Amino acid sequence: MTSPKDIFLDAIDLAPEDRRAFVVQRCGGKKKLVGVVMGLLEAHIGTDEVFGHARAASTGLEPGDRIGPYELIEEIGEGGFAIVWRARQEEPIQRTVALKLLKPGLETRHVLARFEAERKALALMEHPGIAKVLDGGATETGRPWFAMELVDGCSITEYCDKNGLGKSERLGLVLEVCRAVQHAHQKGVVHRDLKPSNILVEEFDGRATAKVIDFGIAKATKPEREPRATLLTRDGQVVGTPAYMSPEQIDESIDVDTRADVYAIGALLYELLSGTQPFEKETLAEAGLAEMLRIIREVDPPRPSVRIGDTTHVMAREIRGDLDWIVMRCLEKDRERRYGSAGIVADEIQRHLGGEPVMAGPPDFAYRAVKFAKRHSLEIAFATSVAAILVVGTVTSIALMLRAKAAEVGTAVELAKFEQISGFYESILLGADPAVSQGKDTSLVLDILGDAERRVEHELEASDEVEATIRRAIGGAYRGFGEPEKAEAQFRRVLELRMSSPVAQLCAKRELGTLLMDGGRLEESAPLLEEAVEGLVRELGPVDERSLRARAGLGTLRRLQGEMGAAEVLYRAVLADWTRVFGEDHGSSIMSLNNLAVLLKKRAQAGDLDEAIELMEKAVDLERNVHSETHPDRLKALNNLGDLLSKVGRDGEAVDCFEEALAIKLEVLPHGHKSLLIGLSNLASLRQKLGQLPQAMAHFERALAMVDPGEDQTRLTAIKLRFNYGVCLDQAGELERAYGEYEACVGLAEAAFGPGSKLALQMEGSAAWQLVKLGRAKEAEPRLTAVLAKLRVATPSDTATLGVMEVRVGIAWRDLGMGIEAKASIEHGLAKLRSVKESAAMDRWIKTARGALETLRDD
């Protein structure tokens, strides 16, 4: 039986909000036991008061001590959970570094995992403005450390004042900071504690360089999400610099993102330009805690130029206007209204320095936004995000339609408004705000579309033709943003409109048909696509672009309906027509190659796969000439080809394709994008299958570093990734680390889907099984039996899972010397395993079970 002590100690490693569920599950329904453990957990919170806090553990290190290849020289800094030493390396090169190590006594799984994750994230960063990670490891006692580039300099504010820098030089330094922070954001790291003391300026050959230090450590070493942990110490004293803390950072319910750093950059700019922090130190110091929090949340500071007080002051004159607005935009209370990223702030500063108009402005800034958008309209074509193109396209076409309509009916005012709006949103999207382009925060875009939709509904007095075009554009954008129902409504409205030419209506039918097909509603889709093909071919001939699209769509429908023959005929005809009319290196011709290859892959009759590979190789080849290296179609083609190659066992070539696709994704997609994760994880699995474990692990680690298990949309991916990573470690013989990953999966699965969920039970089963493999059957046994009992109730028909669990329990029993029970359980499990569909995994389990029975017989 597990003691309250064990349960308590395991629970302590979890984030506070996950503990109760964990305890309830581990106590297996024993209410009294739950009470005892929860009592211990509650008592734990108060222990520091009575027994002193964690710092009571001495660092145990002295100058002259060695860690890895480094000799400690002196302690140069200390945070809540880590200590920084100046240290020297003699071999193989002589250098002085900053060595950061976790304080002793803090090695909970939680803290360790985050320290390690952060070190890895830091290691990914390659930027002159960020102190580089050089090396890392753990002491003999398991305390992790890493060595960083040592920055010899003073804080940015001190440097600027000491050297009497002017506005442009100050802006130049902030620009460097922005670029560094932006780089980190692209790697998925939010600093969260940007302030002058964390931004050091160093001189190299007389040139000043800003370097951001302490990157993400605050995040890495914060052991658990304590309320307001960033703001308050345990005795209620304020730490950090409240002036640099965004409102959301003092609100425990909000997860902090990159925009908190944008806020801090704003505060830094404010201080460097006006000479004072946004909120005067004295005011905050005197305010008391509650008042201070209120100020940070609610009070807007005066514009920097106003803060200087003296309107004739050189700096006040220089910063009035654009710079005021840039700073204030960064300091917006509502992060939705701030710049989306540090990169945009950098662009703004650069524009200001170059005398160009900036995006930010006083409330009547729409005209500037439009001006900006016009200057950059060509760049739309280069925007990496499909989403951005879609919306910009939609909004632009709405604006164009309205312009046409305005000429018609004369509502110039309305047109102007629309132009402003579209220009403004265009400018936002051009900034490639990662939150927007990731599809993570599409609310803004959906708002625009909703607004457009309402206007069309209530205000538009145009001909049906105009309305149809606008609605099709809105519908298309809705589809692009994953709102098929709203898209469907728009397309259906178009079908109700009266039109002089049937073509628009036929196109709407095709769009609606494709949409329904994508949603799996094949029967509804069929008549629409059939009518569209028939009508368009009649009206425009078979080789008009619109007809060809409809014919290709119908081909896909047939394929989905399982009519492979019909689909093949359509696809081959479409491919021939596209190629003949538009040339073989036309985007649509290549898409047709792709379609046909997919069909052949699905059908997989003799010769199909080889032809499919041929087609895809051609497609990938042609793709090179047509689209940019990073075009989404190219990605798709590479992935398809890789998939095909792996199907015929040409795994080595397949890996090349996937690696190439992944390199593109890493370049164009924002950190953490779902497609990036899928790419990394597929590649990792393939490498794993090929036995290339180090590469597989590197990919898993990279994927894990960018997935947020707290995010609803990615939590399942996060668990699967971690689990597969564990399997990989296990295969590589790293049993202990694999066990750690499995345990982490248990926690994640329980938090995401509840302790009784099938996934959580499966993870628990794997973690406990790993314990058995580690020779800790005694600990594992109660957990395994509990999982088995629960699975029997939860998924009585999942024979495979139950079989595996019975074998596991049996082997644990064997290890504990319970031979008779062990034999019975393993035999039960084996019978189950034999009854399910054969697979490699099942084979392995059957072998394991047989092997175990052998050893029992020997005894």
Partner 1 sequence: MNPSPQAEPPTNPPLRPERGPTGHPEGEVTRILRESGGGAEEEILPLVYDELRSIARARMSRERSDHTLQATALVHEAYGRLLGDEQPGWEDRRQFYAAAAQAMQRVLVDHARRSRAQKRGGDLLRVTLGAPEAPVEMEGDRLVALDDALVALAEEDERAAEVTRLRFLVGLTVEETAHTLGISERSVAREWTFARARLMTLLSEASA
Among 63, 128, 142, 482, binds partner 1 (CB under 8 A): 142
Among 44, 228, 294, 624, binds partner 1 (CB under 8 A): 44
The nearest distance, CB 58 to partner 1, in angstroms, is 4
Binding of residue 50 to partner 1 (CB under 8 A): yes
Binding of residue 63 to partner 1 (CB under 8 A): no
Q: Which stretch binds partner 1 (CB under 8 A): 56-64, 373-381, 505-513, 715-723?
A: 56-64
Binding of residue 855 to partner 1 (CB under 8 A): no
Closer residue to partner 1 (CB): 104 or 519: 104
Among 1, 62, 74, 141, binds partner 1 (CB under 8 A): 141
Count of chain residues binding partner 1 (CB under 8 A): 25
The nearest distance, CB 837 to partner 1, in angstroms, is 44
Binding of residue 105 to partner 1 (CB under 8 A): yes
Q: Tokens standing for 108? A: 């909970």
Helices marked H in 308-353 — which ranges?
A: 314-319, 322-330, 342-353
Binding of residue 606 to partner 1 (CB under 8 A): no
Is there a contact between 574 and 552 (Cβ–Cβ < 8 Å)?
yes
355's CB contacts (< 8 A; 6+ apart) are none
Q: Which contacts (CB < 8 Å, 24+ apart) does range 501-505 have?
A: 501/539, 502/535, 502/539, 503/536, 503/539, 503/540, 503/546, 504/465, 504/468, 504/469, 504/472, 505/468
Distance separating alpha carbons of residues 82 and 217, to the nearest angstrom:
9
Binding of residue 113 to partner 1 (CB under 8 A): no
Sign for the pseudo-dihedral over CA of 777, 779, 782, 783: negative
The nearest distance, CB 634 to partner 1, in angstroms, is 50
Binding of residue 5 to partner 1 (CB under 8 A): yes
Binding of residue 9 to partner 1 (CB under 8 A): yes
Instruction: Tell me 145's DSSP state.
Output: E
Sign for the pseudo-dihedral over CA of 265, 268, 272, 278: positive
Among 17, 60, 78, 855, binds partner 1 (CB under 8 A): 60
Binding of residue 107 to partner 1 (CB under 8 A): yes
The nearest distance, CB 142 to partner 1, in angstroms, is 6
Binding of residue 39 to partner 1 (CB under 8 A): yes
The nearest distance, CB 148 to partner 1, in angstroms, is 24
Binding of residue 47 to partner 1 (CB under 8 A): yes
Among 29, 51, 354, 820, binds partner 1 (CB under 8 A): 51
Number of C-beta neighbours around residue 807 at 10 A: 27
Residue showing tokens 């973690």: 767
Residue showing tokens 């809105």: 474
Binding of residue 58 to partner 1 (CB under 8 A): yes
Please, is 389 exposed, middle or buried when counting C-beta atoms within 10 Å of its C-beta (0-12, 13-18, 19+)?
middle
Binding of residue 1 to partner 1 (CB under 8 A): no
The nearest distance, CB 44 to partner 1, in angstroms, is 4
Closer residue to partner 1 (CB): 26 or 405: 26
Distance separating alpha carbons of residues 328 and 834, to the nearest angstrom:
68
Candidates 799, 845, 798; CA nearest to 826 is: 845
Q: Mind giving me the DSSP string for 727-786?
A: HHHHHTT-HHHHHHHHHHHHHHHHHHH-TTSHHHHHHHHHHHHHHHHTT-HHHHHHHHHH
Closer residue to partner 1 (CB): 52 or 128: 52
Closer residue to partner 1 (CB): 142 or 733: 142
Binding of residue 145 to partner 1 (CB under 8 A): no
Distance separating alpha carbons of residues 692 and 699, to the nearest angstrom:
11
Residues pairing with 97 in the sheet? 87, 149
Among 17, 30, 57, 294, binds partner 1 (CB under 8 A): 57
Binding of residue 52 to partner 1 (CB under 8 A): yes
Among 29, 31, 32, 46, binds partner 1 (CB under 8 A): 46
Distance separating alpha carbons of residues 829 and 842, to the nearest angstrom:
11
Catalytic residue among 10, 193, 324, 730: 193
Q: Active site includes 6?
A: no
Rg (CA), the chain: 31
Binding of residue 43 to partner 1 (CB under 8 A): yes
Closer residue to partner 1 (CB): 140 or 282: 140
Closer residue to partner 1 (CB): 141 or 237: 141
Q: Mind giving me the DSSP string for 158-193?
A: HHHHHTT--HHHHHHHHHHHHHHHHHHHHTT-----
Supply the residues annotated as catalytic.
193
Residue ranges in contact with partner 1 by CB under 8 A: 5, 8-9, 12, 39-41, 43-44, 46-47, 50-53, 55-58, 60, 104-105, 107, 141-142
